[in-house]
């Protein structure tokens, strides 16, 4: 905690020191119907100061000397408007505009302003780079808030991945953790630029009430400074104040007892616009198509920002998520007779088990300071605290006739992370070369503690749970009564369930713009130091310099080709190795080439990428691994190769499309010493992905007439050549997966009503693996205890209905 206090002090001291005696002008531009007017030019006459409004109609012009000016707002099809403005040193003057135009002109402005609501052209500030996405030599895909609303996505594990090529989610723990795989490996979870992974299973899925948009970065992403993964990452960007006084209230209901309410308030706390706020609240009750399962969520997310001076801004953010849910292992079904052996709504869940309670807190303090028009500093600190108390249902045995002895194992966990980062962005010219400079440092500590030391067997040998004649009365061996007398940290040490990590990263990058910036060459390097101890073992350290080389060339102003070579270096928590060895950090590299094209004046775009991703020293979960007893072996080396295609945006007025396809092939290229004893050979397919993944979501809204605002939507997901999540010599692979959804909606400037039906054709959809459990003998050998197919079914046909009011 000393580190975070030091950085907080640094932020406030810096904010005061950086205050300048210039002023600024900010405000909002709307149409006469109250619609934000985006991409409108705002300029101070007689000066070089000017800007464009963003997608919310907001603008800001800084570093203006005190005085009186004429502020001009203009756009194609609009009558130019002028207002006199007096700029005061050290303050921001707020000037708003309302555009009153005829209907034809208004439609043109609104259509132009909304063209990029589905397609986002720039990375968020938390991705650090300021290069437009079309010029960035890497495949980055963004899921906008518009897409989240259209598809009625309510959490990070609730359909987000259909919007991104090659992203899959197979083995999981329901809506507890997201666990997304891409390019053949599980990718890292980031929030506002921080890596928030501290164990195999976290973090808690983000509720969409606090999410603005989500960025998926393919490959190592060296510019994210430290602790990334060679396969990529997703970065959840939370909502921030916009400077507009507005709000949104939404009610959602749906199948299986879904009731949800959310409120989004956004506005100014002071008339001069210096002090802004954003508050998001959500509450949800949600059951399941399986009996006795529930997942209730509550979210509180306030944000405050203060414009210290014309050049300096401080932002404080707090996110609180509370989850109360049934036993997290109830999503799994085990059968010796194959996948989908029982009815889809079958459950091994025992009613009466205590709920799993989770309290998830995160705090952020952000400083933005602009030294001049070419250089700026971003510094932020964060603190995360996650507490979980509950159980995980897992078989103690599965008989050949299908009868099960269910075990309810304690699963209490705590994750505490303190992280900080500071980076500078520069934009300079040396002769004919344009430089985009990025340099930064980040550091942090992560501590995870879990107690899974005790399991209570619910069923006796003479009273086994029979899936063919399930009884959900009082279990034959009674309910667990776990001893939680000791604090969690002490229990975790006794159970061996601890992970401790410290890291420091340094990064520098220069993107050289040549040939009038048509050719861009990226030269960069990252130095990472890590120290980690897990599962009661001695700490291991690692340090490595990883280079990054990128080239991007604009064939046309809206058409770019790129190539990239980047390396990865990251710690891994692997549990106990089968051979008793020690785990080393993962190393690897990514080679990637691609084409990016904007179409129809940037209303929609496409990205085509081919890649080769190599991973070394990866610890792979053995089929016997459980949260109570994590067991792994070192694979050796794997190589993933593939093709990715993404399309998103507005194809025609009122018609938007998100579509993608990915081909992934991940195979063993080197066999680790102990991996060979598991029957793994060079050329074997690595589990945990689907070879072919395709998705689409089409949305059409009528633009005029009596039915103006009425719309329809439809989408599908297809997964083919699916691999299981564990290594297995069983020949049964997962069948093809195909899901179709559709819906209808109506909206105007204030109200939106959305109804969607998911899994329209009522397919029995599931993911799974073949699982073996072993007894560990005194002589160090193992003996097979039981084996079975393990799978998780998805919901049958279901619906959601939402009503959203904007004010």
Determine the pLDDT at residue 152: 96
Burial of 45 (0-12, 13-18, 19+ CB in 10 A): exposed
Q: Phi and psi of 754, rounded to 5°?
A: -130, 135
Higher pLDDT, 301 or 84: 301
**Residue 183 predicted with pLDDT over 50:** yes
The pLDDT of residue 102: 45
* CA atoms of 151 and 178, how far apart (whole Å): 18
Q: Above pLDDT 90, what percent of the chain?
A: 63
| 422 pLDDT higher than 70 | yes
pLDDT(625) > 60 = no
pLDDT above 80 (res 202): no
Question: Would you state the pLDDT for residue 270?
Answer: 92
Average pLDDT over residues 289-306: 96
Which helix (H) or strand (E) is 758 found in, with range? strand 751-758
pLDDT of 67 reads: 86
Q: Give me the sign of the Cα torsion angle 684, 687, 689, 691.
A: positive
Query: Once rounded to an integer, what is the mean pLDDT over residues 14-35?
Result: 66
pLDDT digits (tens, 9 = 90+) for 164-180: 999 998 766 778 888 89
Task: Kindly provide the residue ranges of all beta strands, DSSP E only, lying in 128-273, ordered along the sequence.
Answer: 140-143, 181-182, 185-186, 188-191, 194-195, 211-218, 232-238, 246-254, 258-268
> What's residue 112's pLDDT?
37
pTM for this entry:
0.87
Asked which of 98-107, 421-430, 681-690, 696-705 is least confident by mean pLDDT, the reply is 98-107
Q: Given this model, what pLDDT does residue 6 score?
A: 56
Tokens of 86: 């007096």
Q: What is the mean pLDDT of the chain?
A: 88
Q: Which domains does the chain have, with CATH numbers?
A: 2-114 (2.60.40.1120), 246-402+415-806 (2.40.170.20)
Give every CB contact of residue 461 below 8 A, 6+ residues apart in sequence: 405
Assigned token pair, 31? 């149409």
Listed range (219-223, 469-473, 774-778) with the worst mean pLDDT: 774-778
pLDDT tens digits along 519-545: 999 999 999 999 988 877 778 888 999
For the stretch 640-650, pLDDT in tens is: 999 999 999 99
- The pLDDT tens digits for 79-124 are 678 888 988 887 778 888 887 654 444 343 333 333 347 889 999 9
Q: How confident is the model at residue 16 (pLDDT cuts 50, 70, 90)?
A: very low
Three-state secondary-structure class, residue 437: strand
């Amino acid at each position: 905690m000393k580190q975070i206090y030091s950085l907080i002090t640094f932020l406030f001291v810096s904010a005061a020191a950086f205050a300048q005696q210039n002023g600024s002008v900010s405000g909002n531009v709307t149409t006469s119907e109250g619609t934000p007017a985006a991409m409108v030019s705002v300029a101070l006459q007689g000066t070089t100061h000017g800007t464009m409004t963003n997608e919310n109609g907001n603008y800001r012009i800084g570093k203006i000397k005190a005085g009186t000016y004429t502020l001009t707002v203009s756009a194609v099809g609009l009558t130019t408007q002028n207002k006199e403005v007096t700029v005061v040193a050290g303050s921001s003057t707020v000037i708003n505009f309302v555009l009153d135009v005829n209907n034809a002109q208004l439609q043109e402005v609104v259509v132009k302003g909304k063209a990029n609501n589905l397609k986002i052209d720039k990375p968020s500030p938390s991705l650090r780079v300021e290069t437009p996405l079309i010029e960035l030599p890497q495949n980055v895909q963004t899921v906008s808030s518009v897409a989240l609303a259209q598809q009625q996505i309510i959490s990070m594990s609730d359909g987000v991945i259909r919007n991104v090529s090659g992203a899959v989610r197979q083995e999981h723990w329901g809506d507890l953790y997201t666990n997304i795989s891409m390019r053949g490996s599980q990718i890292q979870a980031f929030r506002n630029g921080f890596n928030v992974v501290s164990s195999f299973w976290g973090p808690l899925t983000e509720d969409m009430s606090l999410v603005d948009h989500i960025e998926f970065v393919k490959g190592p992403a060296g510019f994210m400074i430290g602790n990334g993964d060679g396969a990529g990452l997703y970065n959840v960007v939370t909502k921030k104040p916009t400077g507009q006084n507005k709000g949104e209230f939404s009610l959602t209901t749906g199948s299986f007892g879904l009731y949800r309410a959310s409120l989004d308030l956004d506005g100014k706390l002071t008339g001069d616009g210096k002090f802004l706020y954003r508050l998001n609240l959500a509450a949800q009750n949600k059951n399941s198509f399986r009996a006795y399962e529930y997942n209730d969520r509550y979210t509180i997310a306030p944000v405050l920002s203060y414009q210290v001076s014309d050049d300096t801004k401080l932002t404080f953010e707090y996110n609180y998520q509370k989850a109360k849910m049934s036993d997290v292992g109830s999503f799994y079904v085990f059968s010796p007779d194959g996948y989908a052996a029982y009815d889809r709504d079958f459950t091994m869940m025992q009613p009466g088990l205590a709920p799993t309670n989770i309290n998830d807190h995160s705090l952020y303090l952000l400083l933005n300071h602009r030294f001049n028009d070419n250089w700026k500093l971003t510094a932020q600190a964060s603190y995360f605290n996650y507490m979980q108390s509950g159980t995980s249902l897992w078989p103690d045995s599965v008989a050949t006739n299908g009868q099960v002895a269910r075990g309810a194992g304690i699963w209490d966990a705590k994750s505490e992370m303190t992280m900080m980062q500071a980076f500078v962005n520069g934009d300079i010219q040396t002769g004919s070369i344009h430089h985009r400079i990025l340099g930064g440092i980040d550091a942090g500590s992560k501590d995870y503690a879990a107690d899974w030391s005790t399991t209570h067997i619910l069923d006796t040998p003479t009273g086994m749970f029979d899936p063919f004649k399930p009884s959900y009365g009082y279990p034959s061996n009674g309910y667990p009564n776990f001893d939680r007398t000791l604090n969690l940290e002490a229990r975790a040490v006794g159970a061996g369930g601890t992970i401790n990590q410290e890291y420091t990263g340094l990064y520098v990058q220069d993107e050289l713009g040549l040939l009038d910036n048509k050719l861009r060459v990226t030269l960069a390097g990252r130095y990472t130091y890590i120290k980690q101890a897990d599962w009661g073992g001695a700490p291991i350290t690692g340090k490595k310099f990883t280079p990054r080389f990128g080239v991007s060339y604009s064939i046309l102003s809206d058409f770019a080709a790129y190539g990239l070579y980047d390396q990865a270096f990251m710690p891994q928590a692997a549990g106990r190795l089968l051979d008793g060895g020690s785990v080393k950090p993962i190393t690897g590299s990514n080679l990637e080439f691609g084409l990016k094209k904007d179409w129809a004046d940037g209303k929609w775009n496409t990205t085509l990428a081919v890649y080769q991703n190599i991973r070394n020293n990866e610890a792979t979960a053995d089929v016997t691994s459980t949260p109570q007893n994590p067991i792994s072996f070192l694979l050796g080396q794997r190589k993933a190769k593939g093709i990715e295609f993404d399309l998103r945006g507005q194809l025609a007025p009122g018609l938007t499309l998100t579509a993608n396809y990915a081909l992934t092939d991940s195979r063993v290229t080197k066999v680790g010493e102990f991996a060979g004893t598991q029957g793994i050979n060079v050329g074997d397919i690595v589990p945990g992905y689907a070879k072919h993944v395709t998705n689409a979501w089409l949305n059409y809204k009528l633009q005029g007439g009596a039915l103006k605002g009425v719309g329809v939507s439809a989408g599908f997901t297809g997964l083919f050549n699916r691999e299981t999540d564990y290594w297995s010599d069983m020949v049964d692979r997962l069948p093809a997966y195909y899901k179709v959804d559709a819906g209808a909606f109506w909206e105007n400037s204030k109200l939106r009503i959305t109804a969607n039906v998911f899994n329209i054709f009522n397919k029995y959809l599931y993911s799974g693996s073949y699982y073996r459990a072993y007894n560990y003998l005194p002589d160090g050998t193992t003996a097979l205890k039981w084996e079975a197919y393990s799978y998780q079914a998805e919901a049958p046909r279901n619906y959601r209905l939402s009503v959203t009011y904007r004010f």
